[in-house]
Structure 1
Amino acid sequence: MKLLASLTAGFAGAIALTALHETVRRLRPHDAPRMDVLGERGLRKLLRLEDLPQPCPQTAYSATMLGDVLSNGLYYSLVGSGRHTLGRGVALGVLAGVGGVVLPGPLGLGTAPSNRTPQTQAMTVTWYTVGGLVAGAVARALRQRRYPRRRP
């Protein structure tokens, strides 16, 4: 049951993160983080390394969205189901956001999608932190539902 609660919380955070990214990128195309672009670049790079055919743009986008939700969901499931899930969610979110700003360049994926402006950098860290908070809040709610507080 704890594993299911952790996974549920993790995927709630991942879905919130992806929905936030996709909404803001449509509303603020000039400075919104474009983690979808980084994901597509990573996918294409991996396929090239294995001499596999490149997918069409729509297939690459769909595969990237699925991969983002799956990988972020598993990552955010590390919030667990015990105590201090909100704190762990914030910590996981901040770490992922900082990684989203710092790592793409050294990985050969380019820096503009998450590093274009100071606002882009701040949004990247903030969106991942929001995802971590959602994961932590869902884990906390599931725990309270399972172990309700007893009143004296």
Structure 2
Amino acid sequence: MSATITPTLSQALGSGLAGAIALNVLHETVRQFVPDAPRADLLGERSIVKGFEAAGEQPPQGKKLYGLAMLGDVASNALYYSLVGVSKEQPVVAGAALGALAGIGAVTLPGPIGLGEAPTKRTTATAVMTVGWYLFGGLVAGAVFKRLKS
């Protein structure tokens, strides 16, 4: 009789972090070479600027703004992708669903919330890459979680 290991919060968070890092490495690498690549970095920067301005503060600029955007993106995606731990039996399927939903949200929500549509929806190729890359991050999170729990 084999013992099963109960997934822990740290396994879920670690898996989410792996998915978030994979997503960000893909975003940041491809955008250097592909003109139609999504620009999640710009969405992050715009949201930070909006937050600072709403608080009546001067937003950071340049490398500091970019660094905060990357930190916020990795942290928020890591927490989101850690939800793969909810599906103990099918974490890869859960990761795929989470990734697809995140990608669809990244294409459809920035415009209505005032961050602009161009970073993730300026062309059909941009939108497809956006959904695909978030799907990739979710699959990585699911696969890592599956491996950690076995």
Match of 1:119 among 122, 125, 129: 125
* Corresponding residue for residue 62 of structure 2: 57
2:71 is aligned with what amino acid?
A: L
Gapped runs of 5+ residues in structure 2?
1-6
Answering whether residue 39 of structure 2 is matched by residue 9 of structure 1, we say no
Alignment-mate amino acid for residue 48 of structure 1: E
What is the aligned counterpart of 1:78 among 79, 83, 89? 83
Q: 1:101 and 2:113 equivalent?
A: no
1:131 to 125, 134, 137: 137
- For residues 61 and 118 of structure 2, the distance between their equivalents in structure 1, rounded to whole angstroms, comes to 22
Whole-angstrom CA distance in 2 between matches of 1:120 and 1:80: 30
Deviation at 1:53, TM superposition (A): 1.2
1:141 aligns with 2:134: no
Stretches of 4+ aligned residues off by more than 3 angstroms: none
* Stretches of structure 1 lacking an aligned partner (at least 5 in a row): 145-152
Aligned length: 143
Is 1:66 the counterpart of 2:71 in the alignment? yes
Q: Percent identity?
A: 53
Structure 2 match to 1:21? 27
- Could you say which residue in structure 2 is the equivalent of 1:91? 97
**Deviation, structure 1 residue 83:** 1.2
- In the alignment, which of 41, 49, 55 is matched to residue 44 of structure 1? 49
Give the TM-score taking structure 1 as reference length.
0.92
Alpha-carbon RMSD: 0.9
* 2-structure distance, mates of 1:68, 1:46: 15
Q: Which string of whole-angstrom CA distances, capped at 9 and with x for unpartnered residues, describes residues 46-97 of structure 1?
A: 1000111121211000000000000000000000061100000000000000
After superposition, the C-alpha distances for 1:85-127 in whole angstroms (9 at most, x for unaligned) are: 0000000000000000000000000000000100000000000
